[in-house]
Amino acid sequence: MNQFEIFNYWIYVLIMMIGFYGVIAKKNLVKKVISLGLFQTGIFLLYISMAVVEGGVAPIADFKDPNAVYANPIPHVLMLTAIVVSVSITAVALSIVVRIKLAYGTIETDEIEEMDGAE
């Protein structure tokens, strides 16, 4: 197994870790939400990569060619669900961020913590 074969997995870890770093390090809530989205997108790549079958084609039954090799469709289907989940999380997160902006007048976590500490 050379490193190029598992190129996708390197990229998945890279994307995921960039997102993870953003979630932890960024103080701006919108940037946090963006990073969370990036983090989850990395996971989609993991699943899609594992579905690859060498020489496989799209899994639509081809009755003319009994020896056809198909890519595994299940991870793709799972990721459709995960994309929906990820979008919902972003939507809920952004709507809470809007309410935070209205209630606090800021979306910087350090400023919010300062205001909460004063109460």
Sites of contact with other proteins (CB under 8 A): 20, 23, 29, 32, 36, 39-40, 43, 46-47, 50, 74-75, 78, 81-82, 85, 88-89, 92-93, 96-97, 99-100, 103-104, 112, 116, 119
Distance from chain centroid for Cα 63: 36
Report the nearest approach of other proteins to the CB of residue 119 (Å): 8
Decide if 29 contacts 97 (C-beta within 8 A): yes
Decide if 47 contacts 79 (C-beta within 8 A): yes
Q: Which is nearer to other proteins, 68 or 82 (CB)?
A: 82
Helix, strand, coil % (nearest 5) of the chain?
70, 5, 30
Report the nearest approach of other proteins to the CB of residue 99 (Å): 5
Q: Which is nearer to other proteins, 57 or 96 (CB)?
A: 96
Decide if 71 contacts 56 (C-beta within 8 A): yes
Q: Which is nearer to other proteins, 36 or 64 (CB)?
A: 36
Report the nearest approach of other proteins to the CB of residue 63 (Å): 21
Q: In 10 A of CB 48, how many CB atoms?
A: 16
Q: Which is nearer to other proteins, 68 or 112 (CB)?
A: 112
